Amino acid sequence: MYNVLIIDDEPMIREGLRTLIPWEDFDFNVIDTAKDGQEGFEKYKENEVHLILVDIRMPRMDGITLIETVRENDDQVQFLVLSGYADFSYAQKAIRQNVTGYLLKPVEEEELIEYVKRIKKTLDSKQASNELKASSLPDSRQAFLKELIDSNEDVSYPNLNRDVAGLGLEAKNYQVVLIKCLNQTNIDLEEARLRLTDYIEETWGYLFSRDHYLCILLKDIRPSLVHYNELYELVTNHMKGTNIVMSVSHVFPVIRDIGVEYRNTKARLDDAFYYKESKFLRSDSELFLMAKDQKDNEIHINEFPIHTVTERLYFALEALNEQALKNEIMEAAQTMINMEYSEEQIKTSFIRLLSMVLNKCSVNKPELSETLSDLTADLHKINDKTSMYVLIDYIYDLLFKVISSQNVGDQEGQLKKLVDFIHRHYHENLKLETLAKIFDYNSAYLGKIFKNHTGEYFNTYLDKIRMENAKTLLTEGMKVYQVAEKVGYSNVDYFHNKFKKYVGMSPSKYRRKTP
């Protein structure tokens, strides 16, 4: 913000100029006013002033005298001279005293705004130049590189080659490396930069900080995995206890392109959670899971089907099937990626999903209450995972403990578990193909060994379980359509035919017949 001092012997003009334009919108602040040149000069000495609006004719000390007095020791402050029409020739003398311009009373808002914009550009340029001269060479490089990154590619930079040479930034090719500190909210980037500067600039290039990242401009470094690994190890060794991920840009021959490469590299780093790599990312790095085009799918998902996925994961745990467990976790992750979930949404959804799965297990497996309680307490650690790959591994390891805490047994034991599973889930949409996948069998083979174990084909056995349960529900007075739905039949007529074939009478007759 630049400070403005208004000097005029007419109170209405002083206050009018204070409110004529929204000064703060142009990064200016009217710090004070004065009624004549003498008072104005005293207030100028007491404050840091960047712009003075001064009237030509005033008592005690006029505007010309004030300008000449200030100019004896200060050639930086900007002046805008105020004058009446009759004083124009007098105002020309002021222009020879390095005055930016003059405004004819009454002052027009548009004209003042144009001058203010022009003066701001001048002050900005002088400020940048002064900062560059006042800082050390590393700070000058940092300021220069930040300016290049922020500048529009279409804007010319007439002194680019001179500045590049003067700052020691000449090279045949460059690369940008961005470093992000993971799960660290108290990292002082400037302190980290100062700690690393000597090690980086001795061999690699120039280190600076930007946004929330440490940045390195590599000079004439041949791109290779060996070099990237060396750089990664160097940074981690000097930032002990800090988990980092790096992103490396393309090689570019012209330093003016640093802005484009910085933004592309930053975008990749911001999405680091979704990539396979855990150390450094490049333009050819692969995402852990790619979003699949849902145009070809029959069903378009608008909301994550958490209840359906809960059931499938629970079935996999019931079947003690490790592969099915892995498949279901990956399918859940893929669904979230397809839905363009953010990192936070993915973690939140998995915590909720696993809470529901473990809660379902605790209801049906009270013997595992201690294990399930410990696993539930560990769900919050999902928030600490820095990549999708690590997150999926953690979720699998966590749920696998449910399987490993149970006795898997031989094939006979597996078939007993399958039968028990059917008795507990007969009301759901059970299919032999689905159960074969869950219990890790070929469906045809499972059908064969199931018949050998039970003496009946799978569908026959399932219908029998459903019908026996339907008989019980009918005797309790439940309506036929309610019973059909309760035992797993969405079509009442189909249930009616099944029941009549199995029992020998219709459901309604059986309900009336039962005392």
pLDDT attached to residue 298: 44
Structural domain boundaries in the chain: 2-129, 141-281, 294-404, 414-428+443-513
Task: Tell me the percentage of the chain whose pLDDT exceeds 90.
Answer: 43
pLDDT at 92: 66
More confident residue, 53 or 316: 53
Q: What is the pLDDT of residue 301?
A: 60
pLDDT computed for residue 393 by the predictor: 93
pLDDT of residue 299: 46
In the predicted structure, residue 130 carries a pLDDT above the cut 50: yes
Asked whether the domain spanning 141-281 has the same topology as the one spanning 2-129, the reply is: no
pLDDT at residue 179, rounded to an integer? 92
Classify residue 143 as left (phi > 0), alpha (psi -120 to 50) or beta. Answer: alpha
pLDDT, average across residues 80-99: 71
The sign one gets for the Cα dihedral 23, 24, 25, 28 is: positive
What architecture is domain 141-281? 2-Layer Sandwich (3.30)
Cβ neighbours around 251 below 10 Å, total: 16
CA distance 422 to 443: 16
In whole angstroms, what is the distance from residue 407 CA to residue 346 CA? 32
- DSSP letter string, 47-95: S--SEEEEESS-SSS-HHHHHHHHHTT-SSSEEEEEE-GGGHHHHHHHH
Read off the pLDDT of each residue in 107-123 and give the average, rounded to a whole number: 93
Q: Is the pLDDT of residue 300 over 60?
A: no
Q: What is the pLDDT of residue 95?
A: 62
C-alpha 299/C-alpha 295 separation (Å) is: 9
Residue type, position 168, single letter: G
CA distance 347 to 102: 63
Q: DSSP labels for 428-454?
A: S---HHHHHHHTT--HHHHHHHHHHHH
Encode pLDDT of 260-291 as tens digits. 999 999 999 999 999 987 678 988 888 999 88
Return the pLDDT at 133: 61
Long-range contacts of 262-267 (CB under 8 A, 24+ apart): 262/149, 262/176, 262/178, 262/210, 262/215, 265/176, 265/177, 265/178, 266/178, 266/211, 266/213
2-129: CATH architecture:
3-Layer(aba) Sandwich (3.40)
How do residues 57-71 score in pLDDT, each as one tens digit? 899 898 889 998 998
Q: What pLDDT shows up at residue 296?
A: 47
C-beta neighbour count of 281 within 10 angstroms = 23
Question: Which ranges of 135-257 would DSSP assign to H, the alpha helix?
Answer: 137-150, 160-166, 189-203, 225-238
In this predicted structure, which of 2-6, 43-47, 220-224, 331-335 has the lowest mean pLDDT?
Answer: 220-224
pLDDT above 80 for 345? yes
Q: What is 414-428+443-513's CATH topology?
A: Arc Repressor Mutant, subunit A (1.10.10)
pTM for the full model? Answer: 0.54
- The predicted-structure confidence for 10-24, as pLDDT tens digits, reads as follows 999 999 999 999 999
Is the pLDDT confidence value at 85 over 70? Answer: no
Note the pLDDT of residue 150: 86
**Does 487 score more than 80 pLDDT?**
yes
Is residue 142 over pLDDT 50?
yes
Say yes or no to pLDDT of 37 above 80.
Answer: yes
* Residue 447 neighbours by CB distance under 10 Å: 18
State the average pLDDT for the chain.
86
Contact 99, 125 (CB under 8 A): no
Tell me: pLDDT of 319 over 50: yes
Between 279 and 394, the higher pLDDT residue: 394
Amino acid at 442: N
The span from the CA of 232 to the CA of 243, in Å, is 11
- Is it the case that residue 336 has pLDDT exceeding 80? yes
What pLDDT was estimated at residue 297?
A: 47
94 or 214: which leads in pLDDT: 214
Q: Mean pLDDT, to the nearest integer, of 30-35?
A: 96
Report whether 219 contacts 169 (CB < 8 A).
yes
DSSP summary character for residue 35: S
Per-residue pLDDT, 94: 58
Q: Give me the percent of the chain exceeding a pLDDT of 70.
A: 91
Least confident stretch, 197-201, 325-329, 344-348, 463-467: 197-201
More confident residue, 158 or 8: 8
